[in-house]
């Protein structure tokens, strides 16, 4: 089975009430999830086996949560558009992110 790959740019990444970046990047490649700032600096990363993804109880369709090694991040995906070239943008990106993580970890 091929490794699932996912890239989203222009992602707002936050922890609790604190915004970590307003134009970050979420990348899944090589069996790892990486949360990056707009400058490409790593916020957090982990093997997909240690990541849980889901939908928050509140908010719109462009939001998802990612729990990485016990740290919960709120992701706002798909609002800004992004660079062309295979990256996921637009509505439904949060759903595709959650499905990609669940499929890779066997929790589908």
The DSSP-derived string for 15-76 is: ETTEEEEEEEEEEEETTEEEEE-TTS-EEEEEEGGGEEEE--SSS-TTEEEEEETTEEEEEE
Note the residue count of the chain.
108
Averaged pLDDT score across all residues of the chain = 86
Q: Enter the DSSP assignment of 80.
A: S
- Check residue 86 and give its pLDDT: 46
pLDDT score, position 79: 57
Is the dihedral angle over the CA atoms 91, 3, 30, 49 positive or is it negative? positive
Residues 73 and 80: beta-carbon distance below 8 Å: no
- Taking the C-alpha atoms of residue 77 and residue 61, their distance in angstroms, rounded to an integer, is 9
pTM above 0.95, yes or no: no
Select the more confidently predicted residue: 83 or 27. Answer: 27
């Amino acid at each position: 089975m091929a490794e699932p790959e996912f890239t989203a740019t222009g992602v707002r990444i936050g922890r609790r009430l604190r915004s970590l970046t307003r134009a970050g990047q979420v990348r899944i490649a090589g069996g790892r999830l990486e949360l990056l700032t707009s400058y490409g600096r790593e916020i957090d990363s982990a093997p997909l086996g240690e990541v849980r993804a889901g939908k928050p109880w509140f908010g719109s369709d462009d939001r998802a949560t990612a729990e990485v090694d016990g740290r919960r991040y709120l992701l706002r995906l798909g609002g800004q558009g992004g660079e062309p070239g295979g990256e996921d943008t637009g509505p439904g990106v949060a759903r595709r992110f959650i499905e990609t993580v669940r499929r890779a970890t066997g929790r589908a």
